[in-house]
Structure 1
Amino acid sequence: MLQGYGSAKIIWRVSTKAKRCILRISAKEQAILVTLPKGFPYTQALDFVHKQAQWITIRLEKLVQTPHFAIGSHIPIQDKYYTICHALHRKGGAWLENDCLFVSGDPSFLARRVEDFLKQHATKILTQEMHCVAQAVGLRPTRLDIRDTSSRWGSCSSSGRIMLSWRLIMAPFFVRHYLIAHELSHLQHMNHSAQFWKMVDTFTPHRQQAENWLQHFGPILHAAR
């Protein structure tokens, strides 16, 4: 069910597993997602949303800061901002040069080529950083996959396979380091127990700083396109 909230839309979802109203902002859908328990009164749900107006407004304003893959835009890559520049008559797809991310070819394909470049660059850098941290802590994931997810930044399977979002290449180093440490810790603890968090804190000094950053700026990266 859709309903407008200012310039954003509200998507109402009913879940048999939900025990309370859950509100979150979907950067990918540019919408407010409200999950309701089955049978929850609609009028009470509206009241719940209205009471969260300030929280919603702050987070929607942050989405305005979303990096856009367009000529002249500035995007963060590996702790540095680059300007997207169009190189119509050059070849090579996309590449970093000085303070620019140059993109060649037809401008109608520019956004796709920027995203392809970021995914390839993320695969290279995140693999290197994962290897560095894993070697330092004495743990070995069976595989690292770089993907695009709607909300999660990473995951670890019981087989030792770790997934990280390619969008992390646009996050600061301390965020990448924390998330890598987080997923590596799941190789020992497939939960979020006290022992798990103790291991995370042993592997990285950036936990609190990174979690604060992701809470405030994570939606911006999920919306970047």
Structure 2
Amino acid sequence: MAGTIQLGEPPIDVTLKHSARARRLSLRVSGVDGRVSLTMPHRASLREAQAFLRSKEDWIRNHLDRQPDATAIAPGAVIPVEGHPRLIAETRTRAVRLMDDHILIPPGDDQAGARVRAFLKTLARDRLAEASARYSTQLGRPFGKISLRDTRSRWGSCTSEGNLMYSWRLILAPAQVLDYVAAHEVAHLAEMNHSAAFWDEVARLMPDYQAPRKWLRNEGGALHRYHF
């Protein structure tokens, strides 16, 4: 059972979700799109939910105020590539070009967002294929196909057939973060779980994985602020 109610003024839409497994009211503000949701035990009433939300209204609004503004991809916008900020600028070129501090695009192009996205997806595939092959060789286990998606719920996955899926937005993150996700998914070729044995495999592939893992947990949601 689910529904939506509004909180305060100006109103904040809050999605209500009933869960048989929930033992208490649980509030979440998405770091990806700012959506507010409240998970409720079946025994909880709407009145209880409303009272709980009113008690947390200041916390919710403060959290929403800290959400990064959306960035549309157009000349003058700045987006990170491999963690380094690049200014999108028009110049006399026929194709998108990546420079040290710029992404150069053809002048007067009304498809700038689509062109930059296609360029970044190609770059992401190259980087992820290289990292996956490197860790696969290190692990001694082959992988199947690599696919790219624009997923919001996960940065990568590994199927039982050994196929790897990644979010192409990893190309926006620092290079070691992309490497960590590749190491993580390749490690699943040996351990299809998140057991201690799995994390041992990750540590063997990438001994310093903790720092990029922390970055992704704390900063990864902001990679979805860029609208192509």
Structure 1 residue 108 displacement after superposition: 3.1
* SS of match in other structure, 1:72: coil
- Residue 150 of structure 1, CA deviation: 1.6
- Which residue of the partner structure matches residue 224 of structure 1? 226
Contact 1:62–1:217 (8 Å) recurs in 2: no
Q: 2-side partners of 1:127 and 1:68: how far apart?
A: 28
Which of residues 160, 164, 167 in structure 2 aligns to 1:165?
Answer: 167
Is the contact between residue 156 and residue 165 of structure 2 (CA under 8 Å) also seen in structure 1? Answer: yes
| Max Rg structure | 2
CA contact (8 A) 1:27 1:222 kept: no
Give 1:176's aligned amino acid: L
User: Per-residue displacement from partner, 1:103-131 (whole Å, max 9, x unpaired)?
Assistant: 22544322222222211211111111211
Q: Distance in 2 between matches of 1:198 and 1:187?
A: 13
Equivalenced residue count is 223
Residue 211 (structure 1) shift: 2.6
Task: Tell me which residue corresponds to 1:91.
Answer: 94
RMSD: 2.8
> How much has 1:166 moved relative to structure 2?
0.3
CA distance in 1, matches of 2:31, 2:225: 5
The residue aligned with 2:36 is: 32
Identity of aligned residues (%): 31
Q: Which of structure 1's runs of 4+ aligned residues deviate more than 6 A?
A: none
Paired residues of 1:91 and 1:105 also in contact (CA < 8 A): no
Indicate if the aligned counterparts of 1:66 and 1:220 stay in contact, CA closer than 8 A: no
| 1:57 positional shift | 5.2
- Partner residue, 1:3: 6
Secondary structure at the aligned position of 2:110 is classed as: helix
Distance 1:131 1:8, change over 3 A: farther
TM-score, with structure 2 as normaliser: 0.82
Which stretch shifts more, 160-169 or 96-105?
A: 96-105
Return the alpha-carbon distance in structure 2 between the equivalents of residues 95 and 164 of structure 1: 23
Aligned mates of 1:202, 1:105 — CA distance in 2? 47
Structure 1: state its 5+ residue gaps.
Answer: none
Show CA shifts across 1:160-218 (max 9, x none): 11111001001112211221111111112111112112222222123321232122211
CA 1:48/1:153 → structure 2, altered by over 3 Å: closer, same or farther?
Answer: farther
Residue matched to 1:136: 138
In structure 2, the residue corresponding to 1:190 is in which secondary structure?
A: coil
Q: Is the 8 A contact 1:16 1:38 kept in 2?
A: yes
CA distance in 2, matches of 1:12, 1:22: 10
Residues 147 and 163 in structure 1, CA contact (< 8 A), matched pair in contact too: yes
Q: 1:97 to 1:211 in 2, by over 3 A?
A: closer
The answer to whether the Cα contact below 8 Å between 1:9 and 1:30 also exists between their aligned partners in 2 is no
Q: Which consecutive unaligned segments of at least 5 residues does structure 2 have?
A: none
How many Å separate the matches in 2 of 1:45 and 1:28? 24
Structure 2 Cα separation of the partners of residues 122 and 53 of structure 1: 40
TM-score normalized by the length of structure 1: 0.83
Shift of 1:38: 3.8
